[in-house]
Amino acid sequence: MIGVLRILAVTAAMASAGCGVFGTRDPEPPITGGGTYLQPDTPEQVVENLQSAVEELNTLNYRRSFSDDFEFTPTSTAEANNPIFSGWSTTNEEQYFTAVASAAQFSVGHELTLDNSSAVPVSERMSVVDTGYSLTINHNRPDIPTSFTGQLRWEIEQGTDGLWRLARWTDRELGSEPTWSDLKAEFVD
């Protein structure tokens, strides 16, 4: 009987303190990344996922598009000016995109446009996209451009799970305009 009285006393004290033991609470946000993401059953879906991730600044979906052993080759100018590209990995790619997404989170109009971006099969488990690009990221750092152009080569491979991911990326300059490599160099830690 004393135990029941103690439980009632504790419950009454908590209720009068306003902690809402029996009240509902606001739901927590979902753990999923959200955004537009297609299961990458084809190389073309990897390209679509990357374009959507850039437009939405979705870091989770951006990362999901890369293989674990991803390799990046910057433009020759960016490589000569930035030693950070030596040994660039999936981790560096994720750090760069997280930083740029943070700097652009309150703006809109981010876009990745590819010219003739069809994936060309080179083997049963690899396709290549070789195309010109135009990238716009409206970030908040006035000392860095927001538009980038160049030529990219994406080697997209099918993993043992049957899904496709970006395995190798080569960036090339088209004239003297800033390239995606230049953007990466500015935003990687």
In tens digits, what is the pLDDT along the chain, a chain of 189 residues?
A: 666 556 555 555 555 555 555 555 555 444 445 689 999 999 999 999 999 999 999 999 999 999 999 999 999 999 999 999 999 999 999 999 999 999 999 999 999 999 987 889 999 999 999 999 999 999 999 999 999 999 999 999 999 999 999 999 999 999 999 999 999 999 986
Please give the pLDDT value at position 116: 80
| pTM score | 0.81
For residue 28, the model assigns a pLDDT of 44
Chain centroid offset of residue 107 CA: 16
Tell me the domain boundaries of the chain.
39-187
3-state helix, strand, coil in the chain (%, to 5): 35, 25, 40
Q: Are 187 and 59 in contact (CB under 8 A)?
A: no
Per the CB < 8 A criterion, the answer to whether 119 and 127 are in contact is yes
What span, in angstroms and rounded, lies between the C-alpha atoms of 55 and 82? 26
> How far is 10 from 16, CA to CA, in rounded Å?
10
- What is the 8-class DSSP label of residue 89? -
What pLDDT score was predicted for residue 118? Answer: 83
Residue 114: alpha-carbon gap to chain centroid? 17
Work out the widest C-alpha separation in the chain, in whole angstroms.
86
Predicted local confidence at residue 32, as pLDDT: 43
Class for the domain spanning 39-187: alpha beta
**The predicted structure's pLDDT at residue 14:** 54
